[in-house]
Amino acid sequence: MSEVVTFGEIMLRLTPPGNLRLVQTPQFEITFGGAEANVAVMISQLGGCVDYVTKLPANDIAQRSINELRGLGVGTSKIARGGDRIGVYFLEQGASQRAGKVIYDRANSAIALAEKGDFDWPRIFSGARWFHWSGITPALSSSAAAITAEAAAEARRQGLTVSFDLNYRAKLWSREKAGEVLTSLMKTVDVCVTSVEEARTVFGIEIDENDPEREKQAARKLCEKFGFKMIALTQRQGSLACETSWGAMLFAENQAYFSRRHEISIVDRVGAGDSFTGALIFSLRRGDSPQTAVDFAVAASCLKHTISGDYNLITLDEVEALAAGAGGGRVQR
C-alpha cells in the first residue's frame, strides 16, 4: 500500500541524439516521462512507496511506459486503461546560447479524454497519506481539470496532504486560463511548489524585482492569497543552455529557509524541477526539518541535471552526500 499518490500524464519522449536539431536528426532516442511520473520515480528511487495514476491505451507503447515505471519501483496497479493514444513530446536539447525546444503531440491523448468514472478516488487513496498533482494536468482538457478537482477534493476529504507544482506551460494554455482554473483548485493545496516568475505570470503576484527578499515577499503573498501551509520557490539563474546556478527557498511557519546554491554543467535539465518536488515530498514525509528538506531536494534536483532522460536515476546515498557538502566530481574508487 503506497503512502504517496501522484496523478498526471506520462508521455513518449523522442529526443535527437547528442545536440542534433529536430530538423537534422535521422533518428530519435526513446524514453518516457511527464511531471507527475517523474515525481513518482524520484520518490521511489529514494526508497519511498508511491503509486502513479493516469489513463493509458491498451497498446505496446503504453505498456512499455508502465513496465519501466514498475521496474523503477513505482506502483502502477491503479492506472486506468483505454483511449487511443499516449501523448508524445519531441525534445531538442539546447547548447550554449541556443535554447532547448519542446514540441507537443498530445492532443486527444487517453488522459486528456478521460472521464470522472475512470478513477475510483476513494479506493485509490485508501491508506495513502499524500497526493501530488501539477498545473500541467488540468491544462490538458476541461475533463482532465474536472478529474483533478475531484481527486484533490477527495484527497482533502480523506485527510491527505496535498501538494501542487504550478508547472505553467504556455504551449498548453494562456496565463489567463491557467489563473482562472488553478485559482479555483488552490483551496485544497497544502504545499505549493513554484517560482517567483510563475507566481507572477499565473496568479498575478506583484513582486518588487529589486527587493533582495523577493522570494519571501512572494511566499507571504501566496500564503495570504491561498492559505498554503508551505511554499517552495525554486531559483534558477543562468544565460546558457548548458550551465545553470540552482537553489531554492522553502517557506514554512512564516520562516524562510534557503538552500546552498549549486553551479551545474547540464546534461539534461528536463525533470529537474520534478526531482526537486519528489525529493521534497520524500524528505518532509520522513520528518526532516525545513532546512534539511530544502537542502535535500535541491541536491536531488542538482544531480538530475547530470542524467539523460526525464527520470532521476540516483540513490539516496548520493543525494545525502551532496546535501551534506560532498561533491567535486571525483571518481569513487
DSSP β-bridge partners for residue 5 = 51, 131
Q: How far apart are CA 260 and CA 81, in angstroms?
A: 43
CB 3 within 8 A of CB 56: no
- Cell numbers representing residue 232 in the block: 517552495
Q: Would you call 274 a catalytic residue per the annotation?
A: yes
The active-site residue, picked from 51, 268, 274, 295, is 274
CB 41 within 8 A of CB 119: no
Residues in Cβ contact with 174 at an 8 Å cutoff, skipping those fewer than 6 apart: none
The residue with cell 482538457 is 141
Angle formed at CA 188 by CA 184 and CA 194, multiple of 5 degrees: 80
Rg (CA), the chain: 19
* Residue 251, Cβ density class (10 Å: 0-12 exposed, 13-18 middle, ≥19 buried): buried
Q: Is the dihedral of CA 76, 77, 83, 84 positive or negative?
A: positive
What are the residue numbers of the active site? Answer: 274
